[in-house]
Amino acid sequence: MAHCSTHSARPDARADIIASDAGAGASRATRIARFGQAMQQRRGLIQLIQWLVVGIYAFLLVVPALLPLPDYQAHILTNLTVFAEFVFWGLWWPFVLISMVLMGRVWCGVFCPEGTLTEAASRIGLGRPIPGWMRWGGWPFMAFLGTTLYGQLASVYQYPLGALVVLGGSTVAAIVVGLIYGKGTRVWCRQLCPVNGVFNLLARLSPTHFRTDQARWNAHNRAVRQGKAVRTHAPDCAPLIPLKQLDSAGDCHVCGRCSGYKDAMQLEWRSPGVELVEPPQPVRFTHYSVLVFGLLGIAIGAFSWSASPWFVALKQQLAVWLIEHDLMWPLTTTLPTWILTNYPEHNDVFNLLDGSLITLWIVVGGGLLGALTSLPLLLGNWLMGGKATLSRLWHLSLSLIPLGGLGVFLGLSATTMTLLRGDGINLTWANDLRAVLLALACLWGLRLAWRITGEQYNGEQRNGEQRNGGRLAGNAARLVGTTSVALACLPALGVWYLMFWGW
């Protein structure tokens, strides 16, 4: 009897455990929702933070550009120019990328100086409607390409004038767009910001997001019509998102203004990467281009040219050829510092040959890396058969976001390492950490690929398409898709290996 009594008590104990877990989960959900509500209620504090960041940003951007260049003995804590370089490229931008993965685009909504300035400008500006040309889907990639390329030509990571021209130029453009278009919105951020496409991708990995419960939304509207609830003013969504359909962290700036609206919108937890597996909106070519040809192509080309002996060898061969053919002007012509690096006092001058080769290396090399990354994905999409639509290819490519985001972080953090070594800090463990991070990013990507391919197959089953055209079934499709992603990782991994271990 005792045995039976003990056995019969187990379901109750298990129920208590389940209830406890459910209560803990509800408590976590309540806490995160309250945090979102606190953001909505403390707009004044957030605005204070925003303008403090604007002030710090302006000081670190403008003042170092007015000072003499530091000598090679300058240190982070003893020279403002070196300190500003470390803050911008050693801390600021690398950890902005990390914040996207951890908290979504809270940087955009709470801290970004360009977002603050363009929104403030639009409140006093002309308020004109967004023109059709500005809505072109190719701007995220083209803006990223242009800024990356210009930054390398102006040596944005090394010199304060380069940073002022690139970052300051972007800020001025954001203010001008705000003065002309929109009314209290962030047209610049939505349409033209050079990192909007990158942030859109990385934020989809975030474990938190603002989401609209459409059932509650509709119930509130019915209550208003019946006189049981009071109509409330819609929050001013700066990035111009249709709030009723908000279910993605890609465009949301996590400013908190919409929290609690119609008792239907709140900040919520979610499984990291779930938005990549089941995207709430169709994945488009613009996402693919920014990821595969931008993060895994152009960005790697920009980080690799200065460390590559192949670049040096190519430059020497071309210089010899030009001299032999009495074509000296590409070797002797320079441009103003704000266009092409020109610091003779530091023996750092780019001539036209340098500028042309850097441009070709980034554009052609980035395009080649993007093509090599695309080939396995295209092959896997074809082998899976069925309706091998491009939308399925765009969707599968999202599994490369962890590797693409980490690559930009590694490239930017190389500046961090250089400056810390210059201050005598021992970083012998850096390459080991890089190897671990690359391995983890690839493993995360493969897990995402397995889940994405499974979701695609299940979706086709639901739509009655699973055997159309010889579509591979179940785990076979998953294996092909995951293998294609594994092969797509190799070009980027190859370049990172050469940069950190091979060259």
According to the model, what pLDDT value does residue 53 have?
97
Mean pLDDT of 480-492: 97
Per residue in 267-311, pLDDT tens? 999 999 999 999 998 899 999 999 999 999 999 999 999 999 999
Mean pLDDT of 346-357: 96
Asked whether the beta carbons of 261 and 165 are under 8 A apart, the reply is no
Per residue in 442-458, pLDDT tens? 999 999 999 999 888 77
CB neighbour list of residue 361: distance below 8 Å, 6 or more residues apart: 301, 304, 305, 308, 311
Q: What's the token pair of residue 178?
A: 């705000």
Per residue in 190-242, pLDDT tens? 999 999 999 999 999 999 999 999 999 999 999 999 988 888 888 999 999 99
Q: What is the rounded CA–CA span in Å between residue 407 and residue 430?
A: 15
According to the model, what pLDDT value does residue 387 have?
63
Q: What is the DSSP letter of 234?
A: P
Q: What is the rounded CA–CA span in Å between residue 111 and residue 39?
A: 13
Q: Is the pLDDT score of 354 beyond 90?
A: yes
Bridge-partner residues for 181, per DSSP? 128
C-alpha distances (whole Å) from 19 to each of 6, 12, 15, 137, 138 are 20, 10, 6, 48, 50
DSSP annotation string for 159-184: -HHHHIIIIIHHHHHHHHHHHHB-SS
Q: Which residues of 89-103 are buried (b: 16+ CB within 10 A; e: fewer)?
A: bbebbbbbbebbbbb
Per residue in 145-177, pLDDT tens? 999 999 999 999 999 999 999 999 999 999 999
142: exposed, middle or buried (C-beta count within 10 Å: 0-12, 13-18, 19+)? Answer: middle
